[in-house]
Structure 1
């Protein structure tokens, strides 16, 4: 039995990046021998085991054969005679198809180290085309390694896969998993650029794909193109270290602009309502977690009002807070403000511009939250008021608290 470290750990070590997870391939062993040695079996589709001490994953060397469309249609084969080279050739990218043995010698049959040096994402073999998930994986690797380009032959292969309908077989949960990972990388725009270049964006996220070629008013958007604006917003969200829910809200905040009739360009009147509806549909189709889906709809509907909030009086600010459900969901409201700041600063020439709306609305919410509602309710009840009248008294007290911010 021989053990080799493989995949991302080898790649990241060569790049000088921190190594968090380590994966291992075992050659010349059987499941029974692994269990006898104390390893815990965890694999569903093929034999994977957890090391009894480190809990690292150890997989038996395997080959695979495609038997049906999509990414579920594979038969895996493991046996003691399967070699390390047999295992590495089935991997997606050359930079992920390297290994190290106990002696520390790099095993690199497909030129992964060369592609690291040349900053290139290249498929290992024609077998790449058998698994459409690899298109998504490559796109998110492009978001992680933003200075890497996609090899021309790999991009051509991805386009053929899209044309053949392979990505249409992807299930929603897997698309969301890869999309969410890519959104959290350092340059999320690169993921969308790669998906668009190979044609997969139009198949997987047609609402997003429609934004390219749609102009906006140059006064507010010097970058003009709505798709380019989206890319800038996503990178700004990463710069602001926004959480996943806020980054997804950035992705879907302007979807309505893709449905504006061409004769109404470059203005996009009432696009917020259309964006909210499209964000709802997108989230349902991708089975996006509720916290991200709900935030996306709030931001789609209210981002214009949040941008204009500096001109709102105390009463209008309170109505905005209430529409955003900020009193019950203050953490979500804080994420909405991050997404709106990314939207405002994700414009050509505005990248380093302050966004005072965010601290102002946070302060307005804090002021309204500081109002002690119990004494107000008790006083109203003592004066014979009931129900809506009590709520109205609390509402007026919150307006006065917000107004006081501008007089102190």
Structure 2
């Protein structure tokens, strides 16, 4: 029995960056031997075991054979006869197909170290094309290591194009797709994920609503970059630079989908795109079964982001309606995420990345003013039921008018 660290742990150590996850493969052992040593089995697809003391995962070396469509369409075979090289060849990229023992002796049959040094993301074998999920994984790695100047190898990009054209991407489950998309959006340069998907043709399959934004012009006075797709990538880039959470990044990606529906005769204006885009945002949310908080914020940002930009001009009554829509009294964090998403949208424009955004503090101040209305005095005056609700609304409107007057 021989145990090796494999994959990301080896890759990141060689790159000199922190190792977060450690995968281990066991060569020359049977499941019965692992059980006899006290390891606990987990997973139904292939033999993985947990160390009884540390809880670390150990997978038996295995081979795989394509048996159907999609990510799950594989048959795995694990036995003591499977070699380390046979286990490594089934992996996606050469930089993920290296192993090392406890003495840091490197096993690198597919030249992963060479590709690390050349900053290349290259597939290990033609079997790469058997798993459609690898298109998303490679795009995610491109986003992760963009700051180190990694690029996708041309021959790997060609395989990704073939996969995108094959219909295999449509066999991916919502859960697996969302796992890759959400992880990619949280990388340092998530816009690269979208760029790579677009380059290989996967974006028009997975996110046609986003793909449709490229080539759609916007008024140059507000959008020096002009192209709506380019703007969307810039907004996403700003969200990453400002360390925003997944909810905000997802909303940033989807906020302008309505512009893809504008008839060409109306370009570069996009009247009511906030409302026309809602059905598209809802469709994308449902396609990937995005978490509820991501879904809600994406819809709210899509509908109200232009309100955010015009916050200083809004009437007190419109401002109150906006705050009510976000339920700022019970969901203050959601409104804060809306505010920062609007700021990312304002900064995601060519040459305007450092612009000030006074609307943010103005909106925060308005929310605090509305929250400051005390309910108890109204109860003491005898208001209750629907009348109490109307009385609270009148008081909030009053304080918002005062707030607006003081700010102007």
| TM bucket normalised to smaller | over 0.9
The alpha carbon displacement at 1:115 in A equals 1.1
Post-superposition Cα deviations, 1:39-70, rounded to whole Å, max 9, x if no partner, equal 11112200011112222211000000001121
User: SS at 1:407's partner residue?
Assistant: helix
Post-superposition Cα deviations, 1:285-310, rounded to whole Å, max 9, x if no partner, equal 21111111011100000000111001
Post-superposition Cα deviations, 1:219-247, rounded to whole Å, max 9, x if no partner, equal 00000000000100101111111111111
Aligned residues between the structures: 404
Question: Of 336, 339, 344, which residue of structure 1 is paired with 2:338?
Answer: 336
Task: Judge which range, 248-257 or 306-315, deviates more.
Answer: 306-315
When the two structures are superposed, what TM-score results if normalisation uses the length of structure 2? 0.96
CA distance in 2 between counterparts of 1:360 and 1:394 reads 22
1:7-406 to structure 2, matched below 5 A, reads: 7-146=7-146, 147-379=149-381, 381=382, 387-405=385-403, 406=405
User: SS at 1:41's partner residue?
Assistant: strand
The alpha carbon displacement at 1:387 in A equals 4.4
The alpha carbon displacement at 1:7 in A equals 0.4
CA distance in 1 between counterparts of 2:380 and 2:284 reads 46
CA distance in 2 between counterparts of 1:337 and 1:387 reads 32
Post-superposition Cα deviations, 1:2-22, rounded to whole Å, max 9, x if no partner, equal 000000011111111111111
The alpha carbon displacement at 1:163 in A equals 1.5
Task: Judge which range, 321-330 or 299-308, deviates more.
Answer: 321-330
The alpha carbon displacement at 1:328 in A equals 2.6
CA distance in 2 between counterparts of 1:284 and 1:310 reads 34
Structure 1: gaps (5+ residues) = none
The alpha carbon displacement at 1:109 in A equals 1.0
CA distance in 2 between counterparts of 1:49 and 1:363 reads 54
CA distance in 1 between counterparts of 2:390 and 2:170 reads 53
Judge conservation of contact 1:100–1:106 (CA < 8 Å) in 2.
yes
The alpha carbon displacement at 1:403 in A equals 3.6
User: SS at 2:378's partner residue?
Assistant: helix
Judge conservation of contact 1:21–1:56 (CA < 8 Å) in 2.
no
Structure 2: gaps (5+ residues) = none
Post-superposition Cα deviations, 1:153-197, rounded to whole Å, max 9, x if no partner, equal 000111111122111211111111110000011000010011001
Judge conservation of contact 1:6–1:98 (CA < 8 Å) in 2.
yes
User: SS at 1:228's partner residue?
Assistant: helix
CA distance in 1 between counterparts of 2:123 and 2:54 reads 31
Judge conservation of contact 1:327–1:369 (CA < 8 Å) in 2.
yes
Judge conservation of contact 1:90–1:127 (CA < 8 Å) in 2.
yes
When the two structures are superposed, what TM-score results if normalisation uses the length of structure 1? 0.96
User: SS at 2:199's partner residue?
Assistant: helix
The alpha carbon displacement at 1:386 in A equals 5.7
Post-superposition Cα deviations, 1:263-304, rounded to whole Å, max 9, x if no partner, equal 010000000001122111111121111111011100000000
CA distance in 2 between counterparts of 1:139 and 1:256 reads 25
Judge conservation of contact 1:61–1:83 (CA < 8 Å) in 2.
yes
Task: Judge which range, 386-395 or 312-321, deviates more.
Answer: 386-395
Judge conservation of contact 1:122–1:154 (CA < 8 Å) in 2.
yes
User: SS at 2:64's partner residue?
Assistant: strand
Task: Judge which range, 238-247 or 320-329, deviates more.
Answer: 320-329
Alignment partner, residue 2 of structure 1: 2
User: SS at 2:260's partner residue?
Assistant: helix
The alpha carbon displacement at 1:388 in A equals 4.2
CA distance in 1 between counterparts of 2:365 and 2:394 reads 17
Judge conservation of contact 1:240–1:338 (CA < 8 Å) in 2.
no
CA distance in 1 between counterparts of 2:172 and 2:363 reads 41
